[in-house]
Amino acid sequence: MEPAEETKRIYEALRRWWGFTTFRPVQEQIIRAAMEGRDTLALMPTGGGKSLTYQVPTMAREGLCIVVTPLIALMKDQVDRLRARRIAAVAIHSGLSPRQIDIALDNCVYGDVKFLYVAPERLASEAFRLRVVRMNVSLLAVDEAHCISQWGYDFRPSYLRIAELRERLPGVPVLALTASATDRVAEDIMHHLRFAEPHLLRSSFARPNLSYSVRRTDDKNGQLLRLVHNVAGSGIVYVRTREATEQVADLLRGEGITAAAYHGGMGHAERSMRQEEWLTGKVRVMVATNAFGMGIDKPDVRFVVHYAMCDSLESYYQEAGRAGRDGQRAYALLLVASDDEGRIVRRFEQEFPPLDKIKDIYERVCSYLRIGIGEGAQTAQLFNIHDFCAREHLYGGTVQSALKLLQQNGYMTLTDAQENPARVMFCVSRDDLYKVRILRDELDHFIRTLLRLYNGIFTDFRPIDEGELATWSGYTPERVRELLKRLWQLRLIRYIPSNRSPILYLDEERLPKADLYIAPETYKRRQELLRERFAAMLAYAQNDTECRSTVVERYFGAGDQAAPCGVCDLCLARRRAERLRRREADTADERLSQALHERLTAGAADPRTLCAELGGDPARIAALVREGLDAGKIRSRDDGKLEIIP
């Protein structure tokens, strides 16, 4: 395609589908690289417009784009947004029934689908591998690309399957996207994704309109209230615990500020309601754990306050960056108490369990899910981590860290919370089922419909579509749920109603505890990475000399290109100090000038005598003398002495 024609198509797609006429910095470079078929790694901040870099080139030409992403909530959000623009998009993840997956994949082969979002765990499925080679794929986009690197903080073995996918799609360029990658991780990403040649494009992580501040105080409530009262508009306050969300929300409401609490332990309906109230402005401040924020696109957030330090600058930058996306001035405030560092170090040690503890948690998780030794490979299980921790009397942070290490060693992967379909598995064999005397024809008809629609239902929990069952059986969805409960009461099936929960995907069959192997180098590497990331967060909080934006940009690889922002607390303090110094210098100059005038009025004097008598800076006295000579107020006599011109 000629460059002029390519430019025309890119801007037509941008204007037609998104209503924009210009790109953000680096976006167009990334898009052109994709159009040229060049493998590219793009480092862009969260909220920096990553999705457009693969969406625009896909809409500017024929073919579909496969987007690999581990974030199911984000996947669904992107699909909904594309469909709202009348762009055909589908998502494949473990929360779908096999029939739903088959329909989606067939639409990608035979239909007009432009975007296929897929979780990395699904790349190994036979259904996907058989169909992907028949799709007209124009681009492979890999979101959260740092997950492919063992040097990254969130390594996922399932990402390594993307290299196999590239073999099935010869000639299709890859666009890898991440908001955080050191030079070592960037090299690892390009190596594992089999780039034809290294090609890295980096966007600026600067947020010129966002004023970063740190307050070291043991009166966090007072500092929080001062900001909320002085900065108009909506905001977010991030806290670490569920209890703290309620406590801080109560504090704000007591000051007449509309505030709501939000955390992962709330029901889906309640969270959705509170989120909607905040988005529409009925609630001004959302007090939340880090469960809040994914997919949130409220442009006019004026402040984000962190009541406690994050574990990393990556997390802090992402959460603080939810402020000021409309380009107007916004504030990111980090509150640090005198005992925060020690508390976080203790939590770090608690959250990083010894190897024996990881093996113990693995065994408890498998027992909790009722998975026997030798079973469970390639299955997806509903996993309520909060319920598990409560039952097993385990600290959530310890379990999260253990699961992360188990993921990095290829045993199991915990996805984010998602809407999950109902699941069913028969408790009796097919032969025994036919021996059961069903007293009602209605149940017999329903069982036959269930068996006709879903395979493998005697050996595994299978996702089912209650609406689909209603269509094929002739019953209402409400009646379908009643019949499923009836079969469960008869102990013919195990039935899990549709719900919102994380999914635990088992990459391997359950092993005996003694056979579980956690590579020591993986364990040590993760421990080092977590320490390094927290050390960077701590250095940011303790810094009191360098521009905060510069510290952040350098962390994300800007090097010497980062310039002071001029709006963070340290830049503003420096500007105030500079103004004060200038005022003091001006005042000193005025006093020195007056003293010089009075001395020369009293009689002529040579420069050496003036300096000795006035006691000021000789250079400053010389400058004032030059100003007087130039202005015609002072003259130099033949004997070298200076005098006032009458």
**Domain check: are 631 and 483 in the same one?**
no
**Domain check: are 173 and 30 in the same one?**
yes
- In a domain, residue 533? The reply is no
**Domain check: are 477 and 511 in the same one?**
no
pLDDT for the residue numbered 46? 74
**Domain check: are 413 and 426 in the same one?**
no
pLDDT for the residue numbered 104? 92
Mean pLDDT, residues 477-500: 84
Residue 29 burial class via C-beta count within 10 angstroms: exposed 0-12, middle 13-18, buried 19 and up:
middle
Max mean pLDDT among 331-335, 351-355, 577-581 falls in 331-335
DSSP per position, 139-200: EEEETTGGGG-TTSTT--GGGGGHHHHHHHSTT--EEEEES---HHHHHHHHHHTT-SS--E
pLDDT for the residue numbered 191? 95
> Is the CB of residue 462 less than 8 Å from the CB of residue 454?
yes
- Chain segment 116-141, per-residue pLDDT in tens: 999 898 888 888 999 999 999 999 99
- pLDDT tier, 641 (very low <50, low <70, confident <90, very high otherwise): confident
Find the helix packing angle between 396-408 and 340-351, rounded to 10°: 50
**How many separate domains does the chain show?**
5
pLDDT for the residue numbered 429? 83
> Is the CB of residue 211 less than 8 Å from the CB of residue 569?
yes
Strands (DSSP E) contained in 546-641 are 634-636
CATH code, 370: 1.10.10.10
**Domain check: are 381 and 399 in the same one?**
yes
**Domain check: are 270 and 182 in the same one?**
no
- In a domain, residue 576? The reply is no
As a whole number of angstroms, the longest Cα–Cα distance in the chain is: 131
pLDDT for the residue numbered 41? 97
pLDDT for the residue numbered 26? 92
Answer whether residue 219 shows pLDDT above 80.
yes
**Domain check: are 16 and 160 in the same one?**
yes
Max mean pLDDT among 215-229, 292-306, 487-501, 551-565 falls in 215-229
**Domain check: are 154 and 236 in the same one?**
no
**Domain check: are 105 and 131 in the same one?**
yes
- pLDDT tier, 577 (very low <50, low <70, confident <90, very high otherwise): confident
Answer whether residue 418 shows pLDDT above 70.
no
Rounded-to-integer distance, Cα 409 and Cα 156, Å: 8
- pLDDT tier, 419 (very low <50, low <70, confident <90, very high otherwise): low
- pLDDT tier, 294 (very low <50, low <70, confident <90, very high otherwise): low
- In a domain, residue 77? The reply is yes
Exposure string over 309-339, b if 16+ CB within 10 A, otherwise e: bbbbbbbbbbbbbbbbbeeeebbbbbbbbee
Q: Which amino acid belongs to residue 407?
A: Q
Full residue range of the structural domain in which residue 197 is found: 3-202
Q: Please list, in sequence order, all residues whose beta carbon lies within 8 angstroms of the beta carbon of residue 602, skipping any fewer than 6 positions away.
A: none
**Domain check: are 139 and 249 in the same one?**
no
Residues in the chain: 646
Q: Please list, in sequence order, all residues whose beta carbon lies within 8 angstroms of the beta carbon of residue 230, skipping any fewer than 6 positions away.
A: none
CATH code, 80: 3.40.50.300
- Assign 564 to helix, strand or coil: coil
Q: Please list, in sequence order, all residues whose beta carbon lies within 8 angstroms of the beta carbon of residue 631, skipping any fewer than 6 positions away.
A: none
Average pLDDT, the chain: 87
Rounded-to-integer distance, Cα 280 and Cα 298, Å: 9
